[in-house]
Structure 1
Amino acid sequence: MLLSCDPNDKEASMNLVEDLTTNAKQVQKLILEEILTKNVDTEYLRGFLCGRPDKELFKKKVPIVSYEEIKPYIERIANGEPSCIISVQPISELLTSSGTSGGHPKLMPSTDEDLDRKTFLYNLLVPVMNQYVDGLDQGKGMYLLFIKPEISTPSGLMARPVLTSYYKSSNFRNRPFNRFTVYTSPNETILCSDNKQSMYCQLLCGLIQREDVLRVGAVFASAFLRAIKFLEDNWKELCSNIRKGGVSDWITDPGCRNALSIILRDPNSELADLIESQCNGKSWEGIIKKLWPRTKYIDVIVTGSMAQYIPTLDFYSGGLPLVSTMYASSECYFGINLKPLCKPSDVSYTLLPNMAYFEFLPVENNNTSQSQTIQLGRSTQVSDHDHIEYCSKDDDEEADQEAVDLVEVKLGHCYELVVTTFTGLYRYRVGDILEVMGFHNNAPQFRFVQRRNVVLSVDTDKTSEEDLLRAVTQAKLLLEPLGCLLTEYTSYADTCSIPGHYVLFWELKMRGNNQLLPDQLYYPSTIMEECCSRVEESLDSVYRRCRSKDKSIGALEIRVVDHGAFDALMDLCVSQGSSLNQYKTPRCIKSQEAIQILESKVVASFSSKKPPFWEPFTMEAK
């Protein structure tokens, strides 16, 4: 069921969304029938279905799998065997996931038709946004988009990140013309393989066309903030280029130079002076609105681990709406946010039933504490949902649970997402934990909770990414009286010490000016030690028991790193195969090389001076 969407036809597009979500059950039935009928004789499915494209047999016989179980089939295709191992449609490329397997990116199969399916979802974003924001056809978008060079597999198939695949496709280059799809960045600057030259030229184009910009963004919040940091470091040179009417000599990419020669035609001292006056001000607070005064919103993903960046985005943007438009991965594009102007804490994604066949593994949600609200920033809040536990089940035990269909999920319950795609993935565990927040017609809407099993652990403690975000959010409230912003953080479990302990790396910035934090003057030891204690107090009961009673975990440590430490971490990850578009700062790191990079940037270290409060769990008599 390959659907098309004309982004210029708002009424027809929104009617299509209504039809799909109203008839979600029927659409899902047709999707599975189509996938099975086409692929029942592939080597993979033939071993389970014996040529019978039957749903009940599919759910009974085809196992729910993780990447390691399908990896051999994908590697065979990468090495030259035919696509019909897993897919009747020819595999046209392999998409490298931001996740890893054995230290290497996962490879996900893709087809030409699937590229059209992704384009369908992108086109739907236009009429959705036009429902909420007027006048988007009166300007351009300054989107900072990047590619990564492809890797050729032995079979000749290209392996590349999903966004690189899309940006290099004819679907992107020949996208339907409407003002919503007009960007300040020429395609040549997006397709430049040198990320530094690409970043510089895209920012230069955005500054020159500042009066046309109605929205700014990148894929993830982290990438957008990296661009703002780059602008902080290079605005003087950018202004010089605008003033002289020519691009710097170190920009050697022919595509970039040709594109800039059209946009940067004449010297413009007036524009250079205006930009210089804004960038040279006392503070960069609200700089986005100052440089691009017509901006209506920032288009970046701020759900999941990206929620960490909300206060910093608020600082630079002056409170512009933060819009997370879609939910997608290398495996599949899933759905869209039908209420894009909602608060980041309220973002939920409606899974579109024509994109794939969706199943959901129930995840037990132990209600250990009453839901409460914690402050993330000046005007942004995130819901402190109950801690999710897996009850110590291993992968096999969880996979043996009965997976439920899309329309069978229950409000308030959490599930792990399982997909069957048109590209050769069958009952594949994506690894995302989702919570049902509501329904649009008959289609559920999900909040992204976390990636499965992203944890810190020293003893019997298991700290998830969401637990860590919640604890750090509580602790950084102590920094507000100092005028400090926590701009980045990550962690690792230091098991070389006895007992082992958690280590957090924090990068800080002063609010109200552009000064870095050169020494301990700006963060008194008493405050930082209290931050360590606040993190520990905000972690779960198991951690606090191990720390306070069992003494099996040592005092938590915060190591403050110098400005640019996390840029160096990202550079390392990109050099080892991560995509700049898809890069997200890992909230837990294990690579010794990554740890050493951050260690080399440490300017101060602080530890908790007291164990957190803990009392034995008791049950009320009934």
Structure 2
Amino acid sequence: MLLWPLLLLLLLLPTLALLRQQRPHCSLRRSTDISTFRNHLPLTKASQTQQEDSGEQPLPPTSNQDLGEASLQATLLGLAALNKAYPEVLAQGRTARVTLTSPWPRPLPWPGNTLGQVGTPGTKDPRALLLDALRSPGLRALEAGTAVELLDVFLGLETDGEELAGAIAAGNPGAPLRERAAELREALEQGPRGLALRLWPKLQVVVTLDAGGQAEAVAALGALWCQGLAFFSPAYAASGGVLGLNLQPEQPHGLYLLPPGAPFIELLPVKEGTQEEAASTLLLAEAQQGKEYELVLTDRASLTRCRLGDVVRVVGAYNQCPVVRFICRLDQTLSVRGEDIGEDLFSEALGRAVGQWAGAKLLDHGCVESSILDSSAGSAPHYEVFVALRGLRNLSEENRDKLDHCLQEASPRYKSLRFWGSVGPARVHLVGQGAFRALRAALAACPSSPFPPAMPRVLRHRHLAQCLQERVVS
């Protein structure tokens, strides 16, 4: 009998008690009413002022205690939810992690091998992790830190598949597995669609930690390599740490519960079509279904109320806690003439444009305002858009123009500026394989890079934009 279920239950008791509360409360000072709290602690924004050569992302101040509590809560509840939805995946040898980072926000608080994991705990070699997974045909769950990291794994598997098959056949490491190596070669020869299930026929679920900018990778994985598999994220991690919990894996991907307790979360109503702030914030129990809110996080160590810039839409409730879908990040807005093209609007327009490019599947994208790359000399300011695609090797001028048309359809303000010539047409560039992997490596090298690294869609620093510009192939 495994010991972990009992330990998990004991550690879950205080967390479950929080979720049963009828009203969220502020645990900072129990004698302070919410009006006094708001009056004494005005809203602040995460700093947007960064050094050009640092590439650092703005992070609100959050205490280690708050982050630790939320991360442990997310891990324990996520394990319980995963075990309930897929009872066999946590059995020994049924789960493999293929990236150095883990989808679980915090390591388990007891010694011993990771639940169900194949391979050696603490491995620091990503190639060794992938080899361990490939040698184990009976896997039921595949883990990666984030979806974009898993996308890199599958793209790399196609490139290095023959080398990996040779290592498995030669027994480097472990015993030689020639039949398994032949299975790997055969699976790769059939292309990307459904590759995961050909490699691991019993695979049920892919576990990654959701964070900003992951939607395209999830969509690409689900349509190609991981076709037919469920995706599960134990939590949503944003710039302030772990914010949303996933208690129901059977629900559509991307729905999270905002829990009470620390860190203390408030909701700032978002006025339609603007980024203006409302008169005051709301408590979690006051959220209205269908409405959109910006998240406000309070650090109880410094008592700082910080607007995160993360916008959610309330889609339901669980014990008076709102269930939300993360919509966009306000700091990922494009604006060269005050048009304010938000992350969600741009992604929707880009998706429609790519849908008109025959055979193309969008894997990744990044945007840069022309002033960052000094590319608007002699022309109106515009957007430089870099895309990674599957199924299309060259972009015609007709294809490039479709994005600008889709943007004009999506935004009357952008259409007006384009009509008067105040904004130039968006310029679309196709980048080669590995371009976004290089960008993520540059982001990870930043001293304050958080985990998980929220994938930026709008790049504000020249050296990051140049990671993509130097790898343009069409």
Match of 1:499 in 2: 380
- Equivalent in the alignment of 2:160: 234
Quick check: 1:173–1:187 contact (8 Å CA) kept in 2?
Answer: no
Give 1:578 deviation, angstroms: 6.7
> Whole-Å Cα distance in 1 between the matches of residues 245 and 161 of structure 2?
35
SS of 1:355's equivalent? coil
Structure richer in helix, relative to its length:
1
Alpha-carbon separation, structure 2, partners of 1:116 and 1:302: 18
| 3-state DSSP of counterpart to 2:249 | coil
Q: Judging changes above 3 Å, is the alpha-carbon distance between structure 1 residues 12 and 188 closer, same or farther for their aligned structure 2 residues?
A: closer
Aligned pair partner of 1:104 in 56, 61, 70: 56
Alignment of structure 1 residues 138-217 onto 2, 5 Å: 138=91, 139-146=93-100, 171-172=107-108, 174=110, 181-189=115-123, 192=124, 198-211=125-138, 213-217=139-143
Alignment partner of 1:324 is 2:277: no
Compared with structure 1, are the counterparts of its residues 275 and 298 closer, same or farther at alpha carbon in structure 2 (3 Å cutoff)? Answer: same
Whole-Å separation in 1 of the counterparts to 2:51 and 2:187:
39
Cα distance in 2 between the residues matched to 1:10 and 1:446: 26
1:437 offset after TM fit, Å?
1.0
Give distance in 2, aligned partners of 1:307 and 1:350: 18
The verdict on how the C-alpha distance between 1:588 and 1:292 changes in structure 2, with shifts beyond 3 A counting, is same
SS at match of 1:420: strand
CA RMSD of aligned residues (A): 3.3
- Equivalent residue, structure 1, for 2:364: 488
Residues 419, 430 of structure 1: 8 Å contact kept: yes
Aligned partners of 1:215 and 1:296 also within 8 Å:
yes
Larger deviation, residues 335-344 vs 497-506: 335-344
Structure 2: which 5+ runs fail to align?
Answer: none
Q: Is the alpha carbon distance of 1:311 and 1:446 closer, same or farther for their aligned partners in structure 2, counting shifts above 3 Å?
A: closer
Superposition pairs of residues 63-78 of structure 1, within 5 angstroms? 63-68=42-47
Q: Compute the displacement of 1:145 (Å).
A: 4.0
Shift of 1:540: 0.9
Offset, 1:429: 2.0
The residue that corresponds to 1:544 in the other structure is 415
Contact 1:305 1:466 in 2 (8 A): no
Letter in 1 for 2:389: L
1:255 corresponds to which residue? Answer: none
Query: Quick check: 1:134 aligned with 2:87?
Result: yes
SS of residue paired to 2:269: strand
Cα distance in 2, alignment partners of residues 603 and 415 from structure 1: 40
Say which of 451, 454, 461 aligns to 1:591: 461
**CA contact 2:79–2:234 (8 Å) conserved in 1:** no
Measured in 1, the distance between the counterparts of 2:200 and 2:6 equals 26
Among residues 555, 566, 586, which one is paired with 2:425 in the alignment? 555
CA contact (8 A) 2:311 2:330 kept: yes
Check the 8 A contact 1:114/1:423 in 2, yes or no. Answer: no
Shift of 1:471: 0.3
Question: How many residue pairs end up in the alignment?
Answer: 463
- Unaligned segments of structure 1, at least 5 residues: 1-5, 38-51, 72-97, 148-162, 193-197, 248-263, 366-387, 511-515, 605-622
Determine the structure 1 residue equivalent to 2:308: 430
- The one of 562, 566, 582 aligned to 2:452: 582
Given residue 118 of structure 2, which amino acid in structure 1 is its aligned partner? T
Report the AA paired with residue 271 of structure 1. R
Q: Which moved more, 1:213-222 or 1:13-22?
A: 13-22
Distance 1:537 1:428, change over 3 A: closer
Give the letter aligned to residue 389 of structure 1: T
- Report the counterpart of residue 199 of structure 2 in structure 1: 291
Q: 1:602 to 1:166 in 2, by over 3 A?
A: closer
Equivalent in the alignment of 1:123? 76
Q: Which residue of 2 aligns with 1:57?
A: 36
The match for 1:41 is none
The match for 1:306 among 210, 214, 223 is 214
- Summarize the Cα distance change of 1:328–1:591 in structure 2 as closer, same or farther, 3 Å threshold: closer
Change (3 A) 1:131 1:562: same
| Cα deviation, residue 364, structure 1 | 0.9
**Equivalent-residue separation in structure 2 for 1:15 and 1:502 (angstroms):** 51
State the one-letter code of the partner of 1:224.
L
Aligned partners of 1:323 and 1:509: how far apart in 2?
Answer: 24
Letter of the structure 2 residue corresponding to residue 174 of structure 1 = W
- Distance in 2 separating the partners of 1:547 and 1:284: 39
Deviation at 1:244, TM superposition (A): 1.8
Per the alignment, in what secondary structure is the counterpart of residue 424 of structure 2? coil
The amino acid of 2:282's aligned partner reads: V
Residue deviations 1:565-602 (CA, integer Å, cap 9, x gap):
22222232233347595234421113222333322222
Offset at 1:36?
A: 2.5
**Mapped contact 2:339–2:414 kept (Cα < 8 A):** yes
Percent identity between the two aligned chains:
22
CA contact (8 A) 2:315 2:323 kept: yes
CA distance in 1, matches of 2:431, 2:53: 29
Tell me which residue corresponds to 2:249: 340
Task: Give the SS at the match of 1:466.
Answer: helix
With over 3 angstroms needed to count, the CA separation of the structure-2 counterparts of 1:476 and 1:113, relative to structure 1, is: closer
Give the AA of the match of 1:328: A
User: Which structure carries more relative contact order (alpha carbon 8 Å, separation 6+)?
Assistant: 2
Mapped partners of 1:14, 1:173: distance in 2: 12
TM-score w.r.t. the length of structure 1 is 0.67
Q: Give secondary structure in 2 for the equivalent of 1:333.
A: strand
